[in-house]
């Protein structure tokens, strides 16, 4: 059945969406976001380890997850800390998912915010929620916040799944859920009441965690902000990054193997490429500011990167180098030409951050290669979910660039990926979702998020009733980049959940360049009104294209976005991860 589903989804091709002009308020009329006027509630318990160790939390976490608290301390208010809070650290079994919490002693205004973590997690540093600059409850220290290491410590390429199969399950989906379960129980005990509202906020893998929560556990959070989600994890950490590395080591055409260790492009080539792209496409949005507002409109010809004497002039590229630029932009393909990811893998305008996939000098290595090698090893450990000591570790050079090879590689998407577009249970429970991505993201392609938005909109049919999608021009991965990259997502999300005020324009700033711009819900973009500073957000208004983009997200992995693609729930047995057969 699954095979027929895959074939049907592949044949279905691109999901065409009707894009019509939206009646959106101009920026000047958008108004300030307001949240519910909730009174502060003081703690009812003392902030001591003995008190927390005495809490009875048996049966709170799924899978009979036992909770042990390891450190509790009182942190006083200070010039850098707006309100005194109780710092709590513990572990949730049967794996080793940490839970780290901050519980305000007197300032809590009845809101709980759970923070996601990026990369492959492995750390539990609890800072402010992602993109919450200017959020009043954050600035007042009035939120209970929590996070988790998702079942393990350590970074890319570590052997945490080998040592503890529960770590793989916790990283896949369970860690976020049991952290929410335990945190809410702690709140109920510590304050003598439940949180009035619960939110999740994360970017990168935190964005994947956010969508996983909405898909698997639709009642855990009232509002979710999912940024640059790594929700198609298997494809991203194999063919997406693998193509960017290997296609820069080989001759023009589809990827032959084995790869060579000599790179066509090095980091020193990128400023030239970026300058040429910006010169060709910057003015398409009516403003010359070094920012490409919708890179899909940029039809850059990479042949213009080549000098008349084929690169023997300072700064110019050879034809082979220019072709590598085009392939990095274009995305992964099978040897027969079939697309293994959406049409654009790396957007025009992001070139200065392509350092992720190429070294500074010959003989060096690309960081993206480490992503692939680490993920292939851990992914294949869980195929077919058996004792990892019986499996042979794989590397980037072992990848098979065919459609069957793709299908075999992404089998564990049933465990790790958060691509299920059916958010109707989340929406019917009153949940609100803000999905966002930077157009110049050098790590996770915004096309994947567009693909998810297209499928989710088609399946739910009423996406605008509970979801908004924002694309930030010129912004890199979760921040950075040349465009406006600092903003507040948390207040609009709270306002939508608590007062029913749906978000419209979000004003983003770049504190380095001084640029401020409104960013409107997709597919609406900002357009300069012709007067005043182009750095002032007030001088821009909404424009909704009447014709959808000609860039297709369709690829052989379409079936991963089908509501019928099963997300499995697994358990651990000895050294194995045991999952049901879909």
- pLDDT tens, position by position, 428-464: 999 999 999 999 999 999 999 999 999 999 999 999 9
- When pLDDT is cut at 50, 70 and 90, the band that residue 30 belongs to is very low
Span 267-286, pLDDT tens digits:
999 999 999 999 999 999 99
Mean pLDDT value of segment 14-21: 33
524 vs 285: CA distance, rounded Å: 13
Cβ neighbours around 576 below 10 Å, total: 18
479 vs 118: CA distance, rounded Å: 13
pLDDT at 309: 62
Which helix (H) or strand (E) segment is 199 a member of?
A: strand 197-203
- When pLDDT is cut at 50, 70 and 90, the band that residue 23 belongs to is very low
- When pLDDT is cut at 50, 70 and 90, the band that residue 25 belongs to is very low
Which helix (H) or strand (E) segment is 133 a member of?
A: none
**Nearest residue to 346 (alpha-carbon basis) of 268, 282, 417, 274:** 274
- Counting other chains too, the contacts that 280-283 makes at CB distance below 8 Å and 24 or more residues apart are 280/304, 281/348, 281/349
Does 10 have pLDDT greater than 80?
A: no
Cβ neighbours around 59 below 10 Å, total: 11
Does 152 have pLDDT greater than 80?
A: yes
Strands (E), 40-174: 67-75, 85-92, 97-104, 111-115, 144-147
| 208-222, 342-356, 384-398, 516-530: least confidently modelled range | 384-398
**CB neighbour burial string for 280-317, b if at least 16 within 10 angstroms, e if fewer:** bbbeebebebebbbbbbbbebebeebbeeeebeeeebb
- When pLDDT is cut at 50, 70 and 90, the band that residue 9 belongs to is very low
DSSP 237: I
**Nearest residue to 578 (alpha-carbon basis) of 377, 385, 390, 378:** 385
Span 284-336, pLDDT tens digits:
999 999 999 999 999 999 999 998 765 555 678 999 999 999 999 999 999 99
**CB neighbour burial string for 134-158, b if at least 16 within 10 angstroms, e if fewer:** ebebbeebbbbbbbbbbbbeeebeb
φ/ψ (deg, to 5) at 467: -140, 150
Beta-bridge mates of residue 99? 90
Q: How many residues does the chain have?
A: 582
pLDDT at 14: 38
Does 29 have pLDDT greater than 70?
A: no
Span 520-533, pLDDT tens digits:
999 999 999 999 99
Tokens of 573: 């047995």
Cβ neighbours around 464 below 10 Å, total: 13
pLDDT at 121: 87
| Residue 542 vs residues 289, 473, 506: alpha-carbon distances, Å | 18, 14, 12
Please tell me whether residue 252 adopts helix, strand or coil conformation: coil
CB 169 within 8 A of CB 570: yes
* Helix (H), strand (E), coil (C) string for 67-88: EEEEEEEEECCECCECCCEEEE
Domain ranges of the chain: 235-413
pLDDT at 382: 55
Cβ neighbours around 574 below 10 Å, total: 7
């Amino acid at each position: 059945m699954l095979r027929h589903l895959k074939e049907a989804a592949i044949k279905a091709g691109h999901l065409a969406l009707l894009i019509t002009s939206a009646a959106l308020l101009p920026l000047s009329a958008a108004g300030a976001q307001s949240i519910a006027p909730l009174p502060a509630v003081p703690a009812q318990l003392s902030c001591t380890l003995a008190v927390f160790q005495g809490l009875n939390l048996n049966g709170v976490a799924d899978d009979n997850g036992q909770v042990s608290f390891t450190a509790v301390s009182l942190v006083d208010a200070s010039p850098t800390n707006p309100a005194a809070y109780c710092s709590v650290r513990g572990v949730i079994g049967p794996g080793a998912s940490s839970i780290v919490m901050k519980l305000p002693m007197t300032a809590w205004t009845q809101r709980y915010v759970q923070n996601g973590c990026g990369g492959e997690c492995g750390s539990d540093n609890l800072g402010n929620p992602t993109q919450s600059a200017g959020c009043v409850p954050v600035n007042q220290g009035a939120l209970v916040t929590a996070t988790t290491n998702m079942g393990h410590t350590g970074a890319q390429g570590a052997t945490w799944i080998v040592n503890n199969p529960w770590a793989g399950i916790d990283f896949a989906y369970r860690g976020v859920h049991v952290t929410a379960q335990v945190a809410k129980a702690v709140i109920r005990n510590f304050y003598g009441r439940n949180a009035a509202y619960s939110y999740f906020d994360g970017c990168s893998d935190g964005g994947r965690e956010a969508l996983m929560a909405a898909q698997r556990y639709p009642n855990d959070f009232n509002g979710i902000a999912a940024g640059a989600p790594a929700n198609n994890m298997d494809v991203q950490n194999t063919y997406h990054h693998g193509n960017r590395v290997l296609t820069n080591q080989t001759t023009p055409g589809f990827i032959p193997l084995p790869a060579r260790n000599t790179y066509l492009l090095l980091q020193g080539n990128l400023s030239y490429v970026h300058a040429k792209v910006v010169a060709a496409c910057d003015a398409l949005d009516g403003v010359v500011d070094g920012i490409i507002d919708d890179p899909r409109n940029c039809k850059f010809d990479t042949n213009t990167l080549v000098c008349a004497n084929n690169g023997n002039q300072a700064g110019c590229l050879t034809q082979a180098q220019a072709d590598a630029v085009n392939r990095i932009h274009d995305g992964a393909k099978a040897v027969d030409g079939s697309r293994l990811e959406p049409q654009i893998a790396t957007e025009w305008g992001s070139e200065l951050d392509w350092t992720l996939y190429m070294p500074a000098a010959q003989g060096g290595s690309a960081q993206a290669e480490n992503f692939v090698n680490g993920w292939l090893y851990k992914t294949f450990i869980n195929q077919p979910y058996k004792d990892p000591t019986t499996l042979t570790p794989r590397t980037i050079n072992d990848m098979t660039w065919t459609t069957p090879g793709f299908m075999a590689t992404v089998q564990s998407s049933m465990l790790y990926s958060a691509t299920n577009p059916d958010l109707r249970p989340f929406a019917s429970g009153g949940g609100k979702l803000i999905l966002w991505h930077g157009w110049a993201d050098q790590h996770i392609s915004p096309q994947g998020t567009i693909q998810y938005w297209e499928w989710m909109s088609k399946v739910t049919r009423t996406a605008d009733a509970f979801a908004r999608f924002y694309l930030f021009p010129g912004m890199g991965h979760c921040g950075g980049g040349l465009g406006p990259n600092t903003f507040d997502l948390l207040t609009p999300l709270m306002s939508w959940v608590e007062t029913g005020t749906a978000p419209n324009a979000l004003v983003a700033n770049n504190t380095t360049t001084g640029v401020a711009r409104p960013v409107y819900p997709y597919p609406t973009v900002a357009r300069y009104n012709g007067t005043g500073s182009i750095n002032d957000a007030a001088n821009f208004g909404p424009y909704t294209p009447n014709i959808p983009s000609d860039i297709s997200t369709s690829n052989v992995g379409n079936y991963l976005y089908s509501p019928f693609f099963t997300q499995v729930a697994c358990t651990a047995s000895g050294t194995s991860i045991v999952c049901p057969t879909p």
